[in-house]
Structure 1
Amino acid sequence: MRLRKLVAAAVPLPALLCLSLAPAANADPLVTMAANAAPLTQSDRTGDVGADQQIPAALSLKLHNQQALDQFLSDVQNPASPQYHHFLTPAQFNTAFGPTQADVNKAVAFLKQNGASGIEVSGNRQAITFTGSAAQLESTFHTRIGNYLDKITGRKFFANDSAPSLPASVSSVVGSVVGLDNHAVKQHSATTAAPHVVKAVTPPILKSAYGTSGLSATGAGVNVGFVEFDGYKKADITSYDTKYGLQAGSVSTVSVSGANYDSSPGQGEVEVDLDIEVVHALAAAANDYVYEAPNSNAGELAMYQKIASDAKVKVVSISWGSCEAAEGSSAANSVNSAISTGTAEGISYFAAAGDDGTTDCARQTGSYSKAVDFPASSPNVSGVGGTQLTVTSSNGYSSEKAWNDGSNGAGGGGISTVFSAPSWQSKQSTTKRKVPDVAGDAAMGSAYTIVSGGSTGNVWGTSGAAPLWAGFATLQNQVHGGGLGNLNPTFYSIGNGSSYGTGFHDVTTGNNSLNGTTGFTAGTGYDQVTGWGSFKGTGLSGLIG
């Protein structure tokens, strides 16, 4: 869819410091959070934000023992390691790597001292959401907050004029300040009237073409999570299931930071329906947890932390995102910490790679510079690119090519500017993370048939490909008897080995050039249009540990 059990001991910390506005506090110097500057390029300041304007924000607290965590995340996906698939519980993660209660107390005391309200600590102690007036936040973080106008897109937003500052004692436990700007809004791009459909895909077609019909799995007993910033109507999901004779599990909404859009879904309703229904196409019997949060950086962070701390789900489908430049490195790294927590607990994340080719910022900032979508660019997420699927007269797999429908979108791909290349991507000759990792159907010509708003229609984009892979991973959870965590190391090991053709359809034609910018071309093996390609259901299942 176009949008868009090695457990180290916790490091002991000093007792809670007393923070006050008394003169003695001057001994606690301010530290500038340089990476937390708002993305203000190509924007004009139009005035001050009203002093009384209420702004939701968050503090992301630092993890402990980061080097040990990185080693654990490597070992837990290494079949040669004794730690292989020995995932952690949230409590075990908190003990080994999470912020301590003393860290939390220090940060909460600081917020209370500065008048913040609605303070809420995530279950894993990694994030603290709160609300403050613009005047309070300016005083708390030592920066002015202004209204801005994006000169290219015409979008109005507010942002901190300079990087925030914190007392040194507080900055020692805080990794980033999130939400002082609302420049990045998570995007989707559901289109309900695909104009050039050759053959729309339905559950029978997807199961046959991608080879999951031979798996003795329905998703039963597996819980799937969905990252959403809008709502849905259960009647539409039920109608889809009935239309295709699917025996579905439960569908539940999980409210984050008070958000629940189901009584009156907005324009993103079709996106939510697509996510749920495509997972149902392959793994209907799974239980669905639809996480709904405010569409802001603070809401996004709270949602990913809740998914990790709840530990209810083992697969997460993500079809909403921002280009990295709009997201900002501090917000991206904060969310990545939440996702790395989930992968340590055995959760597998799949995210749409975007629908703007290599120019992922085009619709957000108007920039045609090369950029990739977040969270698909997170090393802890499997980024999913787009293909156009062609099937035989009997709905078997015929071929795929890279999705590129010109002005109607092309599969995202490129090189991250935020994240370094993980070890399992070393053979792709890069110092920075490349996306996508895998791909699936996303084109107009092979659009997904769904039910949304009481009507049946066809939609397309990589936000259909992401839940397609999430559905496959759900089946694998059932087949292999539990969570699988970050599957990228497995995918790259298979792709670089002799069994590649057994597990993947290698997509070798097409490109993702768009908006007058030369993109990447699909070719043999890995490429930055379709990754390793799409899954061969039974074949890839047999290669996953």
Structure 2
Amino acid sequence: MASNSTHTIVAGSERKPMRGAHSLGPVQPDQQVEITIRLRDKSGSQTTGTHATSADTHPAARGYMTREEFAAAHGASASDIAAIKAFAELHQLVLVATDAAQRSMILSGTAAAMNKAFGVTLEEYEHPDGTYRGRVGHVSVPADIAAIVEGVFGLDDRPQATTKFKIKRLADAPVAHAAANGSFTPPELAKLYNFPPGLDGKGQCIGIIELGGGTRPADIKTYFSSLGLATPNVKVISVDHAKNRPTTSDSADGEVMLDIEVAGAVAPKATIAVYFAPNTDRGFLDAITTAVHDKVNKPSVISISWGSAEVHWTAQAMASFEQAFADAAAMGVTICAAAGDNGSTDGETDGSQNVDFPASAPHALGCGGTKLVVSATGALTETVWNEAADSATGGGFSTHFPVPSYQTALGKALTGRGVPDVAGDADPTSGYAVRVDGKNLVIGGTSAVAPLWAGLIALFNQKLGHPVGFLNPLLYGSLKGKGVTRDITQGNNGAQKAATGWDACTGWGTPDGLKLLQALSS
């Protein structure tokens, strides 16, 4: 129901307190709050499912839109922007920024003004890991702009996502000696997974989403020098005032450096654009839309190694993320997302099975994990990564997203969008040799698999001369049975078990890079 007779609820905006949180009382009325309003598509129709870019169509025949073309066709309209601007002025809110392509408007104002404008009561909450500004119930907006507003983000600034990496420490052994420690450098994994030789990602840009931590240029230089590779061009983009702030290897620095070093070592001549944003649903969404619509760096693939169980997300957030991913598909941008590191429960203790979002979004390439062992003769053995309940690949079935059209071809009675789609080495005992905050470490987790696949796709895009784009319909359709992935048939992640063909532990399996490129080239 609406908050009052002149307001209309924003669909899917309901929030509950974080588990274990309690209210400390209302926030100070003069506390400054910054939000993002997401506006509707000017065309009056969602891009999801309406483009050949979301079908089992050869990438060369898809007819991707440029970012400029997409903005002209599907950005926010001038009249809608004007209506939100008038709303802001009426409620004493300041218009900070407008991006018609991203369909976003950033507003700032006091907590008291936000409460009145959106029909909420902002309170300060305390939970076991800190405090946050939050709300319960729905957000509402005046009826005359209700049709324009698809989401309101930032009123609640609780931490939204966690990293998906696991550290195995070393005694500061040289990266070049990774194999002696049972681990692999990214180039070694690329060779084991038959990544196409002679490619380096030149002319491509890999976007990486980060919600904390930072990168140290000296470590990047040292790491790539140890691999005999040139230091990649790493660009830092600030979103919603976030900065590149390295701290310690136990923090999000491990995530940031892992992502950069894995993607950069696979595609060393690609530009690496790192989008730093606050760890909130607003920051996460704004980072994604900034990367997808970045007309300067133009990433053709985006790697995401942050997420949380679907139960922690609002429906408006999941809808907006999925819509941003569908927009990316229309422009030929591939989204790679880590499937989680806590098995089939995704770390939840409510006795239910959960999948990690945004990997569960239908337009994301969900990346699961394996344990990889190489024998003395060079033979590969891979099983589902599962060391323990808190150290196992995510995977299962969404309780929010229905079975997408490309998965109906499986002929299985799925209960929702199945995750993951593909996999790669993720067990920290067979993990990735990286350098973080002056230390040589081995790190695992599906956090490493997303940038590994992102690097591989950048190589494909370089060789093909056009973007691969949304890969899922092809994997489940015309590429099925062509040997482009290595099927993982042994192991489980808790409730889900490996099987011949697609399964909810490792998807279609790990890549055979050259075969996949050949199939995409034919």
Q: How high is the TM-score relative to the length of structure 1? A: 0.86
AA in 2 matched with 1:327: W
Shift in alpha-carbon separation, 1:115–1:131, aligned structure 2, 3 A: same
Counterpart of 1:281 in 2: which secondary structure?
Answer: helix
Aligned to 1:504: 485
User: How far apart in 2 are the matches of 1:44 and 1:249?
Assistant: 46
- 187, 194, 205: which one aligns with 2:188: 205
Query: What is the 5 A alignment of 1:42-441?
Result: 42=19, 43-65=21-43, 69-75=47-53, 77-79=55-57, 84-117=61-94, 119-122=96-99, 124-150=101-127, 156-194=131-169, 199-212=182-195, 214-230=196-212, 231-262=214-245, 267-311=251-295, 312-362=298-348, 367-393=350-376, 396=378, 398-428=380-410, 429-430=413-414, 432-441=416-425
Q: Answer whether contact 2:170 2:440 (CA < 8 A) is retained.
A: no
Q: Which runs of 5+ in 1 are unaligned?
A: 1-26, 514-518
AA in 2 matched with 1:36: S
Shift in alpha-carbon separation, 1:479–1:371, aligned structure 2, 3 A: same
Deviation at 1:420, TM superposition (A): 2.2
Deviation at 1:188, TM superposition (A): 1.1
Shift in alpha-carbon separation, 1:226–1:75, aligned structure 2, 3 A: closer
Q: Answer whether contact 1:206 1:281 (CA < 8 A) is retained.
A: no
User: How far apart in 2 are the matches of 1:100 and 1:123?
Assistant: 7
Query: What is the 5 A alignment of 1:5-16?
Result: none
Q: Deviation string for 1:422-476 (max 9, x for gaps)?
A: 2111134335211111111100220111011011111110001111111111111
Deviation at 1:537, TM superposition (A): 1.4
2:504 matched to 1:521? no
- 444, 458, 479: which one aligns with 2:442: 458
Q: Answer whether contact 2:343 2:390 (CA < 8 A) is retained.
A: no
RMSD, matched Cα: 2.5
Aligned length: 503
Counterpart of 1:507 in 2: which secondary structure?
Answer: coil
Q: Deviation string for 1:84-143 (max 9, x for gaps)?
A: 321111232233223211111211221232222362223514112233322111111112
Q: Deviation string for 1:332-386 (max 9, x for gaps)?
A: 2112222222221111110100111122253xxx544322111111111101001
Shift in alpha-carbon separation, 1:109–1:301, aligned structure 2, 3 A: farther
Aligned to 2:517: 541
Counterpart of 2:344 in 1: which secondary structure?
Answer: coil
Aligned to 1:477: 461
User: How far apart in 1 are the matches of 2:221 and 2:379?
Assistant: 28
For structure 1, which segment, 62-71 or 419-428, has the greater mean C-alpha deviation from structure 2 after superposition? 62-71
AA in 2 matched with 1:418: H
Shift in alpha-carbon separation, 1:431–1:392, aligned structure 2, 3 A: same
Shift in alpha-carbon separation, 1:203–1:264, aligned structure 2, 3 A: closer
Q: Answer whether contact 1:229 1:292 (CA < 8 A) is retained.
A: yes
Deviation at 1:177, TM superposition (A): 1.2
User: How far apart in 2 are the matches of 1:129 and 1:359?
Assistant: 35
Q: Deviation string for 1:125-164 (max 9, x for gaps)?
A: 41122333221111111121223345xx565433223212
Q: Answer whether contact 1:184 1:326 (CA < 8 A) is retained.
A: no
User: How far apart in 2 are the matches of 1:138 and 1:538?
Assistant: 55
Q: Answer whether contact 1:425 1:492 (CA < 8 A) is retained.
A: yes
Q: Answer whether contact 2:423 2:506 (CA < 8 A) is retained.
A: yes
Q: Deviation string for 1:148-202 (max 9, x for gaps)?
A: 345xx56543322321211111111001111222334221154443489961111
Shift in alpha-carbon separation, 1:154–1:236, aligned structure 2, 3 A: closer
AA in 2 matched with 1:253: V
Deviation at 1:410, TM superposition (A): 0.6
For structure 1, which segment, 532-541 or 103-112, has the greater mean C-alpha deviation from structure 2 after superposition? 103-112
Shift in alpha-carbon separation, 1:224–1:539, aligned structure 2, 3 A: same
Shift in alpha-carbon separation, 1:45–1:257, aligned structure 2, 3 A: closer
Counterpart of 1:424 in 2: which secondary structure?
Answer: helix
AA in 2 matched with 1:187: T
User: How far apart in 2 are the matches of 1:140 and 1:164?
Assistant: 9
Shift in alpha-carbon separation, 1:253–1:397, aligned structure 2, 3 A: farther
Shift in alpha-carbon separation, 1:184–1:330, aligned structure 2, 3 A: farther
Shift in alpha-carbon separation, 1:299–1:487, aligned structure 2, 3 A: same
Aligned to 1:6: none
Counterpart of 2:12 in 1: which secondary structure?
Answer: helix
Give identity over the alignment, percent: 32
Q: Deviation string for 1:195-240 (max 9, x for gaps)?
A: 899611113421221011x433111111111001232112211111
User: How far apart in 2 are the matches of 1:138 and 1:68?
Assistant: 30
User: How far apart in 2 are the matches of 1:75 and 1:30?
Assistant: 37
For structure 1, which segment, 89-98 or 251-260, has the greater mean C-alpha deviation from structure 2 after superposition? 89-98
Counterpart of 1:69 in 2: which secondary structure?
Answer: coil
Q: Answer whether contact 2:16 2:135 (CA < 8 A) is retained.
A: no
User: How far apart in 2 are the matches of 1:84 and 1:309?
Assistant: 22
User: How far apart in 2 are the matches of 1:374 and 1:66?
Assistant: 27
Q: Answer whether contact 1:372 1:412 (CA < 8 A) is retained.
A: yes
Q: Answer whether contact 2:165 2:446 (CA < 8 A) is retained.
A: no
Counterpart of 1:544 in 2: which secondary structure?
Answer: helix
Q: Answer whether contact 2:275 2:287 (CA < 8 A) is retained.
A: yes
Shift in alpha-carbon separation, 1:335–1:140, aligned structure 2, 3 A: same
